[in-house]
A and B are shown apart, each in its own frame.
Chain A
Amino acid sequence: MLGELETKPDRVVIADFEAGVGTLLRANAEQVDLAVVVVEPYVKSIEAARRLLEIAGANGIRRSILVANKVRDEEDLALIRALLDGVEPDLVVPADEEIAAADLAGVAPIDRNPESEGVRAIRSLAGTIAG
């Protein structure tokens, strides 16, 4: 369906894919301009991110971003870098109790506290993406 969406000036489409590689495997450059791969500082998550970045590249998606999420400290970042052959995340979202609380409660984190560290980090990404 992504490929069918009409091109409309100034429309930004954000597609939340199903967890894993299934959806991205079927995505190409016509359907996706930017792949945002979200990774946690866990081995399983990093392995999945490695595969997702590979698939995005192999499928011809022209740009991709790695977002390191729920990062507590430098050690967490070092783990991600080490297992991704030195790749530096494009954005680091610090572990944020406010986001965790919002998720528990079922409210949008940006409504609960737009100024919490993690939310500010993601908002900054929006600024860069949209230029």
Chain B
Amino acid sequence: MLALDADNVPGLAYSIGLEPTDDLLLSSAATFEEGKGYRMVISPAEAVERFALTGPDGVRFLQFGKPRGATTRDYQASATAFLEIVRSFDDPCWTVVTDLAAGTRQAYFGWTGIAQVVIAVVEPSASSLLTARRFGRLAAELESARLVGVANKVATEAQRGRIAGELDRIGIPYWAEVPADPIFGRAERQGRAPIETGPGSPAILALERIAERLVGENLGAATG
């Protein structure tokens, strides 16, 4: 399992149960060539092998370079390598989960890469529903990936209905749901992995079921 954090502020590391690092782990995986720009000098698989951190349950983890006291060159090299991994790492022995930055920017700009499934996480707020509406435009452009919606922080039937209504309007399936759950607030305040602080809580159970379905339903193969 390979987890990639594509945001340039640390986040996913905490949720996995890792300490975030400021190291530009991948800065030596790519170099700058005059006239050509930044290029990877090793393969994505090798970069993962050499640079990915190992977290709980054996999850390998890579984060997008955190711009803290880094030279522009180091940051650009690391960013190039990271994006190349996101776009081309397709070793069938690995399951890859990429956490994109909030919003539509990265999805619109090629960061869905070789994904078989793109999950649009939607919460009941008006701004999240509006963001989902914008994701709808992505569906037509994704060649090989399946775009599905996962409702998050659902507390009431009315909220479920609003999200379902919006997803239906824009043609994205209401594929799964995660209930509102205080376990996240508790874990987030501590900076710990929710799966460790609340393993039996409703949201964690829902997410584990989602993980089973992602593997079992083989969504990517369902695309035409």
Direct contact of A and B (CB under 8 A): yes
Chain A residues within CB distance 8 Å of chain B: 18-22, 25, 41-44, 47-48, 51, 54, 76, 79, 103-106
Chain B residues within CB distance 8 Å of chain A: 7-11, 14, 20, 66-68, 101-103, 105, 124-127, 129-130, 159, 185, 188-191
A107: nearest residue on chain B (CB-CB)? B126
Main secondary structure of the interface of A (DSSP, over half): helix
Roughly how many angstroms separate A129 CA and B67 CA in the complex, as a whole number? Answer: 30
Residues of A within 8 A of B191 (CB): 42-44
Q: A21-B9, A44-B9 are in contact. List 6 more A-B contacts (CB 8 A).
A: A47-B10, A48-B9, A51-B68, A103-B125, A104-B159, A106-B130
Q: How many contacts A-B (CB < 8 Å)?
A: 55
Q: Could you name 5 residue pairs across A and B whose Cβ atoms are closer than 8 Å? A: A22-B8, A43-B189, A48-B10, A51-B9, A106-B126
A105-B126 in contact given A19-B102, A44-B188 (Cβ < 8 Å): yes
Does A103 contact B7, Cβ atoms closer than 8 Å?
no
From B68, B126, B159, A103 is in contact (CB under 8 Å) with: B126
Residues of B within 8 A of A51 (CB): 9, 66, 68
Does A43 contact B103, Cβ atoms closer than 8 Å?
no
Does A44 contact B105, Cβ atoms closer than 8 Å?
no
Residues of B within 8 A of A25 (CB): 67
From A20, A43, A76, A103, B190 is in contact (CB under 8 Å) with: A43
Interface centre among A18, A79, A104, A106 (most CB of B within 10 A): A104
Interface centre among B11, B20, B67, B189 (most CB of A within 10 A): B189
